[in-house]
């Protein structure tokens, strides 16, 4: 009898979503009204304990449909964050729900506060994930243009086990965007010295040369950015530059080239 009740409950949820996510505008409006009273993920989790995976997959499928439907029509995603939170209450280890959900809630729902809260929830439940802090850094970088916060989250992601090298490259790019050439050079040099991958080494070397040339071109144009001017004084101390890059300092110019 208990299992029969669970099956009936799941069927009710299926029919609920199947009806409201059709293309008829009156059903979409009805959906928005009914979601106000939609149960929380914790309640659904307790009710459908024996069918948690089935319910999670169903909710994920229907939420993606809801997102796609509204993006193609009215772009009204007011309840998108609630749906992602219901799913992650059902399955706290659903990595893709945090990363995809945090991205679209921030960018498409235009609620970075809610998107970041969803990502923070993911970092609490999945503390070993590098993907979630990386996405948070990426959103700060691409959406909010806050390069200092982006840098911090990229570095945080890079320290996680099995994090890919591009976490650190995005951190270096963030510092360059911010105008902190010294830190960016240090990061690119760490990337160069920390890998045996030829492609990664070449990429790091090209970025180091590019940053050095760009910064000194700005000096030549009398750019008054103090961060740019500081690099000339600091350059003599940059013993961390990788082998293969030759930097010659003259009175009025600097020449940077590959050896």
Give residue-wise pLDDT tens across range 36-92. Answer: 445 555 555 555 555 567 778 888 988 898 899 889 988 889 889 999 998 999 899
What's phi and psi for 249, nearest 5 deg? -105, 120
Query: CA 106 → CA 71, 78, 87, 245, distances in Å?
Result: 14, 12, 17, 41
Distance CA 176, CA 185 (A): 9
Task: Give the per-residue pLDDT at 46.
Answer: 54
Distance CA 256, CA 205 (A): 11
Task: Give the per-residue pLDDT at 150.
Answer: 98
Nearest to 192 by CA among 177, 179, 211: 211
Give residue-wise pLDDT tens across range 85-123. Answer: 989 998 999 999 999 999 999 999 999 999 999 999 999
Given a cut of 50, whether residue 143 has pLDDT beyond it is yes
Q: Which residue has the higher pLDDT, 197 or 237?
A: 197
Task: Give the per-residue pLDDT at 140.
Answer: 98
Mean of pLDDT over the chain: 77
Distance CA 69, CA 50 (A): 30
Largest CA distance in the chain: 88
Lowest mean pLDDT among 152-161, 171-180, 234-243: 234-243
pLDDT confidence bin for 145, thresholds 50/70/90:
very high
pLDDT confidence bin for 202, thresholds 50/70/90:
confident
Query: What is the reported pTM?
Result: 0.75
Distance CA 69, CA 198 (A): 45
Q: Which residue has the higher pLDDT, 135 or 211?
A: 135
């Amino acid at each position: 009898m208990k299992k029969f009740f669970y099956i009936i409950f799941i069927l009710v949820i299926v029919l609920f979503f199947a009806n409201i996510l059709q293309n008829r505008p009156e059903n979409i409006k009805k959906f928005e009204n009914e979601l106000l009273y939609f149960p929380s993920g914790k309640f659904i989790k307790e009710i459908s304990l024996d069918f948690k995976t089935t319910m999670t997959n169903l909710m994920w499928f229907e939420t993606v449909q809801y997102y796609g439907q509204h993006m193609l029509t009215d772009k009204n995603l007011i309840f998108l964050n609630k749906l992602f939170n219901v799913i992650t209450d059902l399955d706290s280890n659903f990595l893709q729900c945090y990363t995809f959900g945090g991205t679209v809630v921030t960018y498409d729902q235009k609620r970075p506060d809610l998107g970041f809260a969803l990502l923070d929830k993911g970092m609490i439940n999945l503390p070993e994930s590098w993907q979630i802090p990386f996405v948070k850094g990426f959103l700060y970088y691409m959406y909010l243009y806050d390069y200092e916060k982006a840098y911090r989250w990229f570095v945080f992601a890079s320290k996680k086990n099995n994090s890919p090298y591009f976490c650190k490259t995005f951190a270096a790019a963030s510092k360059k965007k911010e105008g902190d050439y010294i830190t960016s050079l240090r990061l690119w040099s760490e990337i160069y010295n920390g890998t045996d991958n030829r492609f990664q080494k070449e990429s790091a070397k090209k970025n180091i040369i590019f940053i050095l040339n760009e910064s000194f071109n700005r000096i030549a144009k009398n750019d008054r950015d103090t961060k740019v001017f500081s690099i000339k004084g600091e350059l003599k101390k940059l013993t961390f530059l990788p082998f293969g890059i030759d930097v010659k300092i003259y009175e009025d110019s600097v020449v940077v080239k590959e050896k």
